[in-house]
């Protein structure tokens, strides 16, 4: 079987590794960039990431590089504790964080001899028989072409392959929230701090003994990307306490600061003939449950399992969608609900938010992650 994977990020590499484990030869990965690029700052891998990492054979390597923690602290913008989410019990798999670059390097090393073609982008594709998942002829921008039994879109939330398949009407939806991400040097942090302000949040996530991933967001702030990011962040988060003042003094030397709108990609059907979506191309979600990488790994393992199990590509795709779509959509819904906490600006509602979070926060947050851990993918 000849299989083409578009995208050399977490979704694409996870897919290539999973297919290799199942004995599928003839797998090609195409990446439009000229070489490996590990875009992003940090990566939070919650407890339900442990099983897919173990199945992909990368868990030991991740644990050697990752910072693990047993508590997540939720506090107001002055760093006054609202509650701690305790993850130390035996029922919770390890929650971890590391740099996205480190995670990407681990996947690359695991990829082995699977060919990756850089600077190669799909221009068009033709399916001989969509209803029967017939072979797909793919034409590339460099003038070359190839015929494949299965084409997998793993090229992210702005997937160009998804656009070729479904048109420009199917595109990510903005949430009205802008965000900035970067890493900073900071020591003595043993747990993530999730700080809630007025229409803004800031997360400090340790990724090593002396480094942290920082995520900051603003709600309905016009056109924030027209301004220098360091200046804007310093102004908007000047009244935050705890570790934030020290972090703000390092903005210029830390860099780069990655900026963008928070988007969701909701797709009702993930396939067209022998072409199928995976990862953020299928279900790009908000970062509030830290599920992007984990869902991509799960997608890869499930599709590889079904390709091995089913008699035809068509049956494998249908089985894959049956196992994955409802779970991914549930994660998107839960992530959107959590992001609602960041939108509140009214002072009375802020006080109510903190009161309710103090009383019910641990139970509510645990109820989001718990089903993903307890229910097999």
Q: pLDDT (tens digit, 9 = 90+) per residue, 114-163?
A: 999 999 999 999 997 777 788 999 999 999 999 999 999 999 999 999 99
Nearest CA to 214 among 197, 199, 233, 232? 233
Residue 18: inside a domain: yes
Q: Point out the residues of the chain with pLDDT beneath 70.
A: none
Omega before residue 256 within 30° of 0, cis: yes
Q: What angle do CA 85, 70, 366 make, to 5 degrees?
A: 35
pLDDT value of residue 343: 87
Q: How many domains does the chain have?
A: 1
To the question of pTM greater than 0.75 for the whole model, the response is yes
Residue 8: inside a domain: yes
pLDDT value of residue 352: 92
Cβ contacts of 90 within 8 Å, gap of 6 or more: none
Residue ranges with strand state E in 273-366: 275-277
Query: Using CA atoms, how far apart are residues 314 and 162, in angstroms rounded to an integer?
Result: 18
Residue 156: inside a domain: yes
Query: Using CA atoms, how far apart are residues 135 and 104, in angstroms rounded to an integer?
Result: 31
Residue 25: inside a domain: yes
> Which residues pair with residue 177 across a beta bridge?
219
Nearest CA to 95 among 217, 190, 203, 166? 190
pLDDT value of residue 166: 95
> Which residues pair with residue 195 across a beta bridge?
75, 202
Angle between helix 313-339 and 292-309 (nearest 10) = 160
3-class DSSP state of 337: helix
Residue 255: inside a domain: no
pLDDT value of residue 223: 74
| CB atoms inside a 10 Å sphere around CB 78 | 12
Q: What CATH number has the domain bearing residue 308?
A: 3.50.50.60
3-class DSSP state of 295: helix
Cβ contacts of 3 within 8 Å, gap of 6 or more: 19, 24, 26, 27, 28, 148, 149, 150, 151, 152
In which element (H, E) is residue 299 found? helix 292-309
Residue 311: inside a domain: yes
Domain hosting residue 309, numbered range = 3-37+101-172+264-339
Residue 273: inside a domain: yes
């Amino acid at each position: 079987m000849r299989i083409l994977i578009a995208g050399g990020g977490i979704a694409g590499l996870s897919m290539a590794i999973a297919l290799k484990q199942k004995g599928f030869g003839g797998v090609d990965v195409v990446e439009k960039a000229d070489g490996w690029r590990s875009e992003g700052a940090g990566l939070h891998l919650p407890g339900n990431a442990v099983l897919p990492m173990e199945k992909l054979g990368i868990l030991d390597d991740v644990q050697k590089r990752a910072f693990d923690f047993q508590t997540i602290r939720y506090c107001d913008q002055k760093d006054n504790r609202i509650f701690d989410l305790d993850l130390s019990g035996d029922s919770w798999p390890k929650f971890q964080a590391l740099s996205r670059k480190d995670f990407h390097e681990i996947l690359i090393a695991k990829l082995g001899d699977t060919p990756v073609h850089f600077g190669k982008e799909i221009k068009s594709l033709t399916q001989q028989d969509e209803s029967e998942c017939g072979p797909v002829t793919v034409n590339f921008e460099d003038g070359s072409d190839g015929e494949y039994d299965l084409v997998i879109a793993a090229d992210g939330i702005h997937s160009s392959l998804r656009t070729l398949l479904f048109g420009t009407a199917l595109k990510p939806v903005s949430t009205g929230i802008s965000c900035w991400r970067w890493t900073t040097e900071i020591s003595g942090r043993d747990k993530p701090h999730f700080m809630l302000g007025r229409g803004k949040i800031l997360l400090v996530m340790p990724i090593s003994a002396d480094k942290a991933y920082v995520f900051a967001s603003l709600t309905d702030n016009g056109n924030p990307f027209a301004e220098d990011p360091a200046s804007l962040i310093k102004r908007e988060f000047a009244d935050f306490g705890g570790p934030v003042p020290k972090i703000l003094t390092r903005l210029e030397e830390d860099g780069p600061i990655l900026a963008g709108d928070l988007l969701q990609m909701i797709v009702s059907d993930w396939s067209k003939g022998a072409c199928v979506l995976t990862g953020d191309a299928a279900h790009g979600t908000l970062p509030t449950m830290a599920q992007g990488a984990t869902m991509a790994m799960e997608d890869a393992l499930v599709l590889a399992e079904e390709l091995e199990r089913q008699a035809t590509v068509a049956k494998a795709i249908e089985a894959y969608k049956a196992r994955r779509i409802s779970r991914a959509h549930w994660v998107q819904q839960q992530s959107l609900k959590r992001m609602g906490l960041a939108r509140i600006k009214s002072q009375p509602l802020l006080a109510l938010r903190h009161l309710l979070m103090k009383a019910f926060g641990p139970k509510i947050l645990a109820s989001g992650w718990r089903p993903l851990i307890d229910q097999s993918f």
